[in-house]
Structure formats: structure tokens, C-alpha cells
A and B are shown apart, each in its own frame.
Chain A
Amino acid sequence: MIIHPRHTQIIAISMLVILTVFTLAILVFIILFVFSKGLPYISFDFLFSNPEDMGKAGGIFPTLIGTIVLPLLAIIIATPLGVGTAVYLTEYTRENRITRIIRFGADCLAGIPSIIFGLFGFIFFVTTLEMGWSIISGSLTLAFMILPTIIRTSEEAIKAVPYSYREVGFSLGATLWQTVRKIVLPNALPGIVTGIMLSIGRSIGETAAVIFTAGSSLRIPNSVFDSIRTMSVHFYILAREGISSKNAYATAAVLIISILLINLVTYWIMNRFIAKKTK
């Protein structure tokens, strides 16, 4: 039987619509499910008071701090390393075997399960360098974990800047560094920030690498050498040890909301940034 192209077109469109709706429905279902179980327990007290009885009662304040501090430090460490590497690879080297090996290495690192990074962080930072279970061990480990993502997304963003901009820069007597700093990086910024956002999301959601390196203390830390627990670790422990499933869901809901908020704020900032440039 031969189907007329017009009909295959209609079939294709309906199939694609169904697939899209199905995918979205699953996502929405997950979020609604967590929200319906968790939202009722979220209150000001829950967010800003200390947990009691291992988290069975009380709030999640220390984990809120952990969730902010750990990824933030990781980003502060990883961004200059990652963007610097990306600039060097794209602008300062010609495509050759060494750049290909570095790129291949970054791709491999990006695909390594986070537990391996956790194990590495535990052996290297926590025990060998004697940093103990601490914010600094956790942040460094997370930084290494997200580094490949930042390198690769920054690279793509930098490559997407039209070559003609560079040509003009050079033709006006600018050095490569001036061209990179004044033209290439500002134009690649939206892409670079996207990579950073992805990485923030990934490190906020990370549990395995964090338990191994930052520990799971529920006390409020005094310095970066204290152990800390993030929200992800918190609800993992709550659920895993059967301490309190309602608090686990509530924490998960808070986590989802904060990731949504981070994304919204970033989009808002990016849009303002782009609007300002193309005004």
C-alpha cells in the first residue's frame, strides 16, 4: 500500500505531537507528584529552623546553606578554569592532536558517574590532603565534576561567535587577547552562562559526590573546613533511612522550586543583557 506524502505528513505531525505531549506530561507529573506530597509541609519555619531528631522534625536551614554554598564555591572555582581552558583551546591553538586529546578527555570526564568523582575527592581531598569532610573538599570535587561541561559549552559558545568579528578586531590592530576580551567573550557570554547554569543544576542535585566529600553534618558551618549537608543529600538520607518521608518530599519540593527560581532569574538577566546590547 502506498500512502500519499500528504497523509504521511499528517501522520508524522501527529506522532511528533503525541511524543512531545507524552514527554511533557511525564515531567509535569513528576513535579506535581513531588509538589502534592511536599508543598503542604513547607512553611517559613520549615525553611529557616534547624532540624531536630536527625530531620524527623524541625526545618532544613543548614541544608539550605549547604545547597547555596557548595555549588557557589564550585562554580567560582570551575568557571575561570573552564572558560580559560575553552578560550585557550579555541583561540590560541590550532586544531591538532593535542587539542583533540584534551577535548576527548573532557568528553570522557563529562560522562563519568559522579560517584567516581566522589571517591576521588574522598581519597584525594578528604584523606590525602587532610581537608576532612568539608565544604572545601565538596566544592573542589564538584568543581572537577562540572569542569568538562563548562569547558565544552564555553567552547561551543566561543566558536559560535562570527569569525568576522575577530577579523575586524585584528584589522584594527587589536591583539588576539584584546579581541578575545572585548569582542569574543562578551558575545559568547550567553552560551557560557548557559553552561554554568547547567553545572549549577547538576551540582545542586548531586548526592553521591557530596556525601563522600562534604559529609552530612546537620550543624551550621563556621568555615569552609566544616562539614555540611545539602538538600539533595538531606532528602536522600531522610528517604533512605526511613526517617521522614514527608520531610523528604518537602525538601525535594524546595529543591525543585529553587532550581526553577535560579533558571528564571538567569533567563531574566540574560534577556536584559541581550536586550541592552541590541537596543
Chain B
Amino acid sequence: MPKIIKVKQLDLYYNQFQALKSVNMDVDNNNIIGLIGPSGCGKSTLLRTLNRMNDLIEGVKIKGEILLDGVNIYSSQMEIYELRKRVGMVFQRPNPFPLSIFENVSFGLKVERFTDKKKTAEIVEKSLQAAWLWDDLKDKLNESAIKLPLYQQQLLCIARLLAVEPEVILMDEPCSALDPIATMKVEELMLELKKEYHIVIVTHNMQQAARISDLCGYMLLGEMIEFGKTSDIFTNPRDKRTQDYITGRYG
């Protein structure tokens, strides 16, 4: 079931520096949400507020609300570990653990204290299939994950995430370490995954956002300048700054 994400008047400070300035965002239905903007605009910061990864950084202060299905994820009603299982993350650099492929995908289950071996193997297979890796890797599940080519490592990270059955997948420039062909493959995978998950993707690559996102947010210096349908943002931006960015005047 699609979950509704609402970001309301979100401010975020790194000590004195304000990185997000009353950001609003509204997402229903299954969508790919692209966040674009020049470096330092706060798009990665916004992404990391959605699964509270910013909590790990010293001196972070947050005001405002982020609602996942109506529950504020920063309130005591939502346990942080539970939140992170529901809102998973794919990072910029492929970062499999130096363990076997099987152990990587089953890591999240181990976290859950899931001990049924047969079920674990099933979930690993299902997750690898969903990430389009099963056919390539089914015969080498016990080999080390860090020997895989980069794009397979990134797909493996996606599989590792799918194994814990998240509702929302956050992607922080997931293709920036990949070549164009691998990037295409990951994008196709995302289009497949959006049938079952919300995907929020931060990207430096405007064309990528145009290709795959349904909704798009343009951020600048911590502000959400414009948020709406991708087609509108790219063909008919309301704000002059958005227009300047997508036409390549700066950024």
C-alpha cells in the first residue's frame, strides 16, 4: 500500500548553520520523487531527515514535522529502528559489507533476529530476484560481495534493503559511481520498484530526474523552491530560479 509522506515546515540546523528552511513536501501514491539542485542546496540533508540519519551528526537541530502515514517520525510514537526499517536507504557509493553475497542480503534479517534458515534463503532469493541479480549470482552466493563489479554491488545494496521490506526507499545519488549502461539498468530497476515502493532520489543529474521521476523538487540554499509534477518543472517552471537552473544558467 502506498504510504503518505508529508513534510511540514521543516527547519534543520547544523549548529548555527541553517541547512533547511521551512521545507514543505507532500507525497501520496507510489511515485519516484526526484530532488534536484546545486551542491550544498540541502537535498541530501532533506533525504536524510526522512529516515533520521542526520541524528548521527553532532549539533543537528530539527524543527517542523515529517509525517509518515500521519505519524510524526520525530515523535516518540515512532521508534527510530522501526522507522529505518520502513524507510530504507541506498547510498552514493556502493557499500556492501565485506561478507558473502548471502550474508549481505540476509543482514537485515539477522538484525530482526530472524532464525528460520529456509525462510531466510527464500527471502534472499526473492530480494536478489527483485534487484535483478539472482540469475547472475545464484551460483556464487557464498563469494565475497566486495569482489563484484560496482554496479552489481549497488544492486546488491538495493537487494539488501528489499530484504527488510521497506515502504520507502531513499536513494542518495545512487548512480554517481556507475557508468551510463549500469545507470540505465538501475533506472529501469527503479521504474520497476516504484510499483511497490515510494522512491525518493537525490540526483545531480537533471536528465536523470527528468527521465525517471514523477514528482520533482528543486532546492536552492536550503529552500524548496518548487515542488510538483516533473513534467511541469521541466517544461513550465513557475519560478525564475528553477528555470535558470534547468536551462543550465547556473548550478
Contact = CB atoms under 8 A, between A and B. Distances in A.
Given A168-B97, A169-B107, A174-B108, 8 more contacts: A162-B95, A165-B95, A168-B91, A170-B53, A171-B89, A172-B161, A173-B82, A277-B144
Nearest to A161: B98
B26 interface: no
Contacts of B93: 164
A49 to B, nearest CB: 49
Contacts of B147: 278
User: Top 9 closest A-B pairs, CB basis?
Assistant: A173-B85, A171-B89, A173-B84, A164-B95, A174-B111, A172-B108, A173-B81, A278-B144, A279-B144
A170 B48 CA distance: 12
Interface of A: 94, 162, 164-165, 167-175, 178, 182-183, 187, 277-279
A204 to B, nearest CB: 32
A166 B192 CA distance: 29
A172 B84 contact: yes
B236 to A, nearest CB: 36
B84 A170 contact: yes
Interface string B17-48: 00000000000000000000000000000000
Given A168-B91, A187-B98, A175 B81 contact: yes
Q: How large is the interface on B (under 10, 10 to 19, 20 to 34, 35 or more residues)?
A: 20 to 34
Nearest to A166: B56
Contact of A182 (B91, B107, B161, B164): B107
B53 A277 contact: no
B160 interface: yes
A173 B58 contact: no
Interface of A is mostly: helix
Nearest to B95: A164
Contacts of B88: 171-172
Contacts of A94: 58
Interface of B: 51, 53, 56, 58, 81-85, 88-89, 91, 93, 95, 97-99, 107-108, 110-112, 142-144, 146-147, 157, 160-161, 164
B84 A165 contact: no
Nearest to A179: B111
B181 to A, nearest CB: 25
A211 to B, nearest CB: 45
A31 B119 CA distance: 58
Contacts of B99: 277
A190 to B, nearest CB: 11
A167 B93 CA distance: 12
A4 B14 CA distance: 51
A168 B98 contact: no
Given A172-B88, A173-B84, A277 B110 contact: no
Please indicate which of the listed interface residues A94, A172, A278 has the most CB atoms of chain B within 10 Å of its own CB.
A172
A172 B95 contact: no
Nearest to A162: B95
Contacts of A168: 91, 95, 97, 157, 160
B60 to A, nearest CB: 12
Nearest to B94: A164
Contacts of A183: 97
A172 B144 contact: no
B197 to A, nearest CB: 15
B111 A178 contact: yes
B98 A172 contact: no
B84 A164 contact: no
A166 to B, nearest CB: 8
Contacts of A175: 81
A170 B84 CA distance: 7
A164 B93 CA distance: 9
Please indicate which of the listed interface residues B111, B112, B147 has the most CB atoms of chain A within 10 Å of its own CB.
B111
B110 to A, nearest CB: 7
Contacts of B161: 171-172
Please indicate which of the listed interface residues A168, A169, A173 has the most CB atoms of chain B within 10 Å of its own CB.
A173
